[in-house]
Amino acid sequence: MSSPATSAANPAATSPAPIILTGDRPTGPLHLGHYVGSLRNRVTYQRDYRQFIMLADAQALTDNMDDPAKVQRNVIEVALDYLATGIDPAQSTILIQSQIPELAELTFYYLNLVTVARLERNPTVKEEIRLRGFERDIPAGFLTYPASQAADITAFKAVLVPVGEDQVPMIEQTNEIVRRFNRIVNKEVLVEAKALVPEIGRLPGIDGKAKMSKSLGNTINLSASADEVRAAVKKVYTDPLHLRVADPGHIEGNIAFSYLDAFDPEKDALAEMKAHYQRGGLADSIVKARLEAVLQEFLAPIRARRAELEKDRGHVMQILKEGTARAREVAAQTADDVKRAMGLSYF
């Protein structure tokens, strides 16, 4: 099925290594939280696994159908974030969900393997419905997106799905669909997947909230300019009880130190700085100066790679086109297997 040319260009896409799949809804730029929680892991995974990374634009539309242009625009922005942080298209397959109609086809069958009651009980969907204030006016596509995500995961026969804690119910529901389908056709057509939840917790927002998130407006984007980084660091929440420099300060809940823990490569100097802060006598401004230097140093090469890539957006689109074509071959095979298993192979 796959042409020798694509296989040679991308040995990782056809190797027998276990398949790992992740995805993002392209609704806005990626930030430091994405980096800590997932992007940096993907850079490691791509060496050892056959990795698919999905730009889930169709899923993003389930609650953004009023603004498809926003989703479309962010597909390339997120792709730039991937490439700038070290996702290597020769090792990972980046694909655009909407360009693989077999995913919609699989979703159509899987919808018959879940009940509305079960979808309404899915804790992730439930919380998202609450956050979006849908009340009873839930787009049907939104309520049923777990079936679509099951299609994403099973189409590529992924055995591992790295996700945040909040996505674990999605994997559970996928596996219910897998077991139900395999039981009906009495054959192991679909494979169950395991959620891979990173041990390092999520990165808090600059405002001190537990999660860095676009909707909370407390992010530092991977594409932030040097000025934006400077301004964000100024706003970073520290210890509200640390009123005078001489006072002992707290490390816990102090976001400047949370970020330094995540990004400062000089661990010994950081340990000393923490001890000094806790003893008293260390100004927030000194801690923040260090934080700014660390973040600028971390983001500068990402920004430079991004600028380089942006010079040739056609090349980036070509990477997405090739990844999507490769991914489609795999998804088409699964859709074919699924239909055959049901006896829906007439000609």
Minimal distance in Å, beta carbon 1 to ligand TRP? Answer: 23
Binding segment toward ligand TRP, per CB under 6 A, in 160-168, 206-214, 281-289, 336-344: 160-168
Where in 131-150 is the site for ligand TRP (CB under 6 A)?
149
The answer to whether residues 107 and 119 touch, using CB atoms and an 8 Å cutoff, is: no
The answer to whether residues 244 and 52 touch, using CB atoms and an 8 Å cutoff, is: no
Q: Is 153 in the site for ligand TRP (CB under 6 A)?
A: yes
Instruction: Name the residue nearer to ligand TRP (CB basis): 89 or 146.
Output: 146
Minimal distance in Å, beta carbon 337 to ligand TRP? Answer: 19
Binding segment toward ligand TRP, per CB under 6 A, in 15-23, 224-232, 265-273, 315-323: 15-23
Length of the chain: 347
Instruction: Name the residue nearer to ligand TRP (CB basis): 21 or 84.
Output: 21
Q: Whole-angstrom Cα distance, residue 121 to residue 289?
A: 47
Rounded-to-10 torsion of CA 346, 150, 107, 51: -80
Contacts of 299 (CB under 8 A, 6+ apart): 222, 224, 226, 229
The answer to whether residues 162 and 42 touch, using CB atoms and an 8 Å cutoff, is: yes
Instruction: Name the residue nearer to ligand TRP (CB basis): 214 or 276.
Output: 214
Minimal distance in Å, beta carbon 213 to ligand TRP? Answer: 11
The answer to whether residues 78 and 49 touch, using CB atoms and an 8 Å cutoff, is: no
Minimal distance in Å, beta carbon 230 to ligand TRP? Answer: 29
Q: How many residues bind ligand TRP (CB under 6 A)?
A: 14
Residue in 290, 233, 289 with CA at minimum distance from that of residue 266: 290
Q: Whole-angstrom Cα distance, residue 261 to residue 271?
A: 9
Minimal distance in Å, beta carbon 153 to ligand TRP? Answer: 5
Minimal distance in Å, beta carbon 140 to ligand TRP? Answer: 17
Instruction: Name the residue nearer to ligand TRP (CB basis): 59 or 258.
Output: 59
Q: Whole-angstrom Cα distance, residue 53 to residue 94?
A: 5
**Binding-residue pattern over the window 54 to 93 for ligand TRP, x denoting contact by CB under 6 A:** x-x--x----------------------------------
> Phi first, then psi: what are they for 48, rounded to 5°?
-105, -15
Instruction: Name the residue nearer to ligand TRP (CB basis): 24 or 322.
Output: 24
Of 152, 239, 264, 292, the one binding ligand TRP by CB under 6 A:
152
Q: Any idea which residue has 């998804």 for tokens? A: 331
Minimal distance in Å, beta carbon 193 to ligand TRP? Answer: 9
Cβ burial 50-74 (10 Å sphere, 16+ → b, else e): bbbbbbbbbbbbbbbeeeeeebeeb
- The structure tokens listed for 179 are 């077991």
Where in 183-212 is the site for ligand TRP (CB under 6 A)?
none
HSE, CB side, 13 Å, CA atoms: give it for residue 226.
6
**Binding-residue pattern over the window 17 to 56 for ligand TRP, x denoting contact by CB under 6 A:** ----xxxxx----------------------------x-x
- The structure tokens listed for 280 are 């008293």
Residues that bind ligand TRP (CB under 6 A): 21-25, 54, 56, 59, 149, 152-153, 161, 163, 167
